[in-house]
């Protein structure tokens, strides 16, 4: 990493000191694994629009947006105004609230699969309860999950998130691999893992466990894998297989809801039984939600005998509901179309910058979600993603930080409303510049990528 690392260390002394202090009271100096990178992440002190400033005063254009959740950027006036107005009346009560109904109505109006919805505080809770509902509704226990798919951190979904290729078995019939120590071994028997993009493995999974599969859970455009577009007909084929085998289809739209007014399900014209949501529907505040068919969601109706228990002290709290509704009001069809078109321009510009620098890369993505990978093979699933050299991805991340461009360290970027052509150009120029400087590193790690 040489010069890039030296530059980073020189620019971020205040963050380094804060990190050292933080390590004394928090493991690794943070309260969240996903926001860590070596040697230490920068501490961000403030954000405004699409820009953030770190503890040393360095400014960045923010293409992370708190992992895609801040689609209006930082401190958007509509969100600030709504939240301050609401908070005058308190934060949360042990009672239903009109603001919950208002946000639920907006979601039901927008998202094709939603007839009924419940709020929680994170995406993890959303997928936990959607899967629990599917198990309760079908009376079955197994869940089909996509290899490399990320759905939060509860036990059932902590399987084959980023397995080592030695442990993962054959590509067309992957072995379930626990993603974390501490997840009970029995979870391996609850989860059937299939590769993204193929219908045969899905059919085989249902045939291998007849009458045992409660649900198939999938991100329509897998995020951690790099926002890979679904092959034509794939989601419809999955929909069909799941229905034929009497299971439920769960779309995890925690990231993809931003792709159209009604999420990826509207974009691709495939309606699941249940949908999980998060991120943008909280307007920047902690949130999750799950919903779908009324006959399934009615399992949570406490006026019915034997209903499913779903609690959460801060579910549907006043600030989150107000911020979420304010965000969705701004996010009309025209605004989403503008963001998606900017995403297309960004991907085209990144490809052109790489071509001009003589470096072969893959730029993938859908709408306002994009990724940049150092590989000459198309990235179509977990295995092709896992073949990308992590060292080059990390080095590019550091180079971009040094140039004031904040991206997800694995090479992904999301756009937000305050961005315009200037920010897209700034990002493309920074990547082009970084690639030029990285040539010797690319020569060492992956010489086949250099023209």
Nearest distance in Å: CB 121, ligand PLP:
8
Nearby residues of 105 by Cβ (< 8 Å), 6 or more positions away? none
Phi, psi at 206, each rounded to 5°: -65, -35
Q: Count of residues binding ligand PLP (CB under 6 A)? A: 15
Q: Indicate which single residue of 151, 397, 399, 403 sits in contact with ligand PLP (rule: CB under 6 A).
A: 151
Question: Which of residues 320 and 402 has its CB atom nearest to ligand PLP in the complex?
Answer: 320
Identify any residues that bridge with 288 across adjacent strands, giving them in sequence order: 120, 278
List binders of ligand PLP among 84-123 (CB under 6 A): 122-123
Candidates 179-187, 250-258, 407-415, 432-440: pick the segment binding ligand PLP (CB under 6 A): 250-258
Contact 325, 106 (CB under 8 A): yes
- Stretch binding ligand PLP (CB under 6 A), from 20-28, 81-89, 252-260, 320-328: 252-260
Among 62, 147, 190, 252, binds ligand PLP (CB under 6 A): 252
Q: C-beta of 263: minimal distance to ligand PLP in Å?
A: 12
Single out the residue of 346, 394, 391, 397 nearest to residue 367, CA to CA. 346
Shortest Cβ distance from residue 222 to ligand PLP (Å)? 8
CB 350 → ligand PLP: shortest distance, Å? 22
Identify which of residues 263 and 432 has a Cβ nearer to ligand PLP in the complex.
263
Name the nearest CA neighbour of 290 among 335, 337, 323, 250: 250
Among 148, 195, 223, 367, binds ligand PLP (CB under 6 A): 223
Binder among 43, 150, 300, 374 for ligand PLP (CB under 6 A) = 150
Q: Which of 150/206 has CB closer to ligand PLP? A: 150
Q: Which tokens belong to 93?
A: 């009560």
- Contact with ligand PLP (CB under 6 A) among 58, 113, 124, 414: 124
- List the structure tokens of 385: 């993603």
Stretch that binds ligand PLP, among 249-257, 314-322, 377-385, 425-433 (CB under 6 A): 249-257
Within a 10 A sphere around the Cβ of 5, how many other Cβ atoms? 14
Residues 264-283 that bind ligand PLP (CB under 6 A): 278
CB of 284 or CB of 349, closer to ligand PLP: 284
Q: Which is nearer to ligand PLP, 68 or 138 (CB)?
A: 68
Residues of span 287-306 touching ligand PLP by CB under 6 A: 288
| Least spacing, CB of residue 314 vs ligand PLP, in Å | 13
User: Distance of alpha carbon 34 from its chain centroid, rounded?
Assistant: 11
DSSP string, 283-305: TTSS-EEEEE-HHHHGGG-TTST
Q: Is 327 or 354 the residue whose CB approaches ligand PLP more closely?
A: 327
- Residue 55: both structure tokens together: 């503890």
State in angstroms the smallest separation of the CB of 252 from ligand PLP.
5
The answer to the question of residue 284 lying near ligand PLP (CB under 6 A) is: no
Mask 407-446, x = binds ligand PLP (CB under 6 A)?
----------------------------------------
**Residue from 193, 202, 235, 254 that binds ligand PLP (CB under 6 A)?**
254
- Binding residues for ligand PLP, rule: CB under 6 A, are 67, 122-124, 127, 150-152, 219, 223, 252, 254-255, 278, 288
């Amino acid at each position: 990493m040489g010069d890039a690392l030296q530059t980073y260390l020189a620019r971020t002394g205040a963050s380094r000191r804060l990190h050292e202090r933080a390590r004394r009271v928090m493991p690794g100096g943070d309260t969240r694994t996903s926001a860590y990178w070596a040697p230490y992440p920068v501490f961000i002190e403030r954000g405004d629009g699409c820009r953030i400033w770190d503890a040393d005063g360095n400014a960045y254009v923010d293409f992370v947006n708190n992992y895609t959740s801040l689609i209006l950027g930082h401190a958007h006036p509509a969100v600030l105004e709504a939240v301050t107005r609401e908070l005058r009346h308190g934060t949360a009560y042990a009672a239903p609230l009109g603001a919950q109904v208002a946000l639920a109505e907006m979601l039901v109006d927008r998202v094709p699969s939603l007839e009924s919805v419940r709020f929680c505080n994170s995406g993890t809770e959303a997928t936990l309860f959607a899967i629990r509902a599917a198990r309760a509704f079908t009376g079955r226990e197994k869940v089909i999950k996509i290899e490399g798919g990320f759905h939060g951190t509860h036990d059932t979904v902590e399987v084959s998130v980023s397995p080592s290729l030695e442990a993962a078995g054959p590509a067309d019939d992957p072995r379930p691999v626990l993603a974390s120590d501490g997840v009970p071994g029995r979870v391996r028997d609850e989860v059937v893992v299939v590769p993204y993009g193929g219908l045969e493995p899905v059919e085989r999974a249902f045939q291998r466990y007849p009458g045992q599969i409660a649900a198939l859970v999938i991100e329509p455009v897998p995020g951690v894998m790099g926002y890979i577009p679904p092959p034509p007909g794939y989601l419809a084929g999955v929909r069909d297989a799941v229905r034929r085998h009497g299971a439920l289809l769960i779309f995890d739209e925690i990231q993809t809801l931003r792709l159209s007014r009604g999420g990826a399900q509207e974009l691709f014209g495939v309606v699941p039984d249940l949908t999980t949501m998060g991120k943008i529907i909280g307007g920047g505040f902690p949130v999750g939600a799950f919903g779908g068919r009324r006959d399934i969601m009615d399992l949570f109706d406490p006026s019915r005998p034997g209903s499913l228990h779903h609690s959460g002290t801060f579910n549907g709290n006043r600030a989150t509901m107000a911020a979420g509704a304010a965000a969705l009001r701004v996010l009309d069809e025209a605004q989403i179309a503008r963001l998606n078109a900017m995403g297309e321009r960004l991907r085209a510009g990144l490809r052109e910058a790489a071509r001009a620098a003589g470096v072969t890369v893959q730029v993938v993505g859908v709408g306002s979600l994009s990724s940049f990978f150092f590989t000459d093979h198309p990235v179509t699933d977990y295995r092709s993603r896992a073949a990308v050299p992590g060292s080059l991805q990390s080095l590019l991340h550091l180079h971009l930080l040094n140039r004031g461009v904040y991206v997800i360290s694995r090479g992904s970027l999301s756009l937000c409303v305050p961005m315009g052509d200037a920010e897209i150009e700034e990002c493309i120029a920074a990547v082009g510049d970084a690639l030029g400087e990285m040539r010797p590193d690319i020569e060492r790690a992956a010489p086949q990528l250099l023209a």
